[in-house]
Amino acid sequence: MIVDAHCHMWMEEWVEKDMLKVLESVKESLGLEDLGNLMKGDVERLVAEMDEAGIDKAVILPLDFEFLYEAGDLTYRDYNDRVGEALAAWPDRLIAFAGVDPRRGKAGVLELRRCVEGMGFRGLKLWTIAGFYPDDDAYYPLYAEAERLGITVMVHTGLGPGYSYLKTCRPVYVDKIAVDFRGVNFILAHVGNPWVEEALAVAMKNPNVWVNISAWQKGHSLFAMGLYQMLSQARLMHGGVHKVLFGTDWPLFTEVYSQREWVETVRGLEQPMAMQVMGLPEITSEEKEMILGGNAIAALRL
């Protein structure tokens, strides 16, 4: 089984005002050519590309961005509803997370409950890019509800688009809540890049924390050794790669690697000669399959 642990969904008509500015900044920072490709995030396209890549399930992550960006006509509840409609249409292929900013307080707790109990969502997405530190005690009622519901929490860590805040996105800010809510599984998106060692350390010390390799496509296309080096480091720190999940950040990097190409890249990883000389462990074919899907069974409680 292959699980893409990090995807998004939107329609072109949803992308307006500040979110259009965000996608434009992504295009510029990645050196991409086709803005239209970034904006085509409809679920039909996603499922078709999953089929081509042999991906069995994908995690859909709506974003609650209203504390930082002007939302236009699409509120965070509307966004969750649209993802709920996609889940109802593709229940065997999609895993939905609720986009809720913890600063919403009681309203956020109720929205998470509505999404999980009313629409079958399996997780909570925290988009720290919007400017909050996730380990604030004020947000504990939301995490307590996530624990009660038995869902997974995905936390954005590492780099984000332009017009966003980097300082709130360090992996270390997940450590405290991972300790205080052992009944919740947490996933650190993007392996916290550029705070990769910090993300791996948080995952190493906490049995309920994983990382995913979404958004590593551009870096890999420029410096192929980087991904293998990170996986080798994870293997050394954990005795294996059982804390690493496959992810794409679809549709943002499809111009760099398609879904199929990113799956093939992971399956085809070979240890660089320089790392062989250093005596670093080789990533086995069995471990590559764990990354592609096996590890997600525990992290997502499939």
How do residues 91-112 score in pLDDT, each as one tens digit?
999 999 999 999 999 999 999 9
Number of domain units in the chain: 1
SS3 286: helix
Give percent of the chain with pLDDT exceeding 90. 79
Report the b/e string of 218-241 with b at 16+ CB within 10 A.
bebeeeeeebbbbbbbbbebeebb
d(CA 74, CA 151): 25
Confidence class for position 279, pLDDT limits 50, 70, 90: confident
The residue-averaged pLDDT of 175-204 equals 97
Range of 196's domain? 3-299
How do residues 234-258 score in pLDDT, each as one tens digit?
988 777 799 999 999 999 999 999 9
* 15 pLDDT higher than 80: no
CATH number of the domain encompassing residue 98: 3.20.20.140
pLDDT value, residue 58: 98
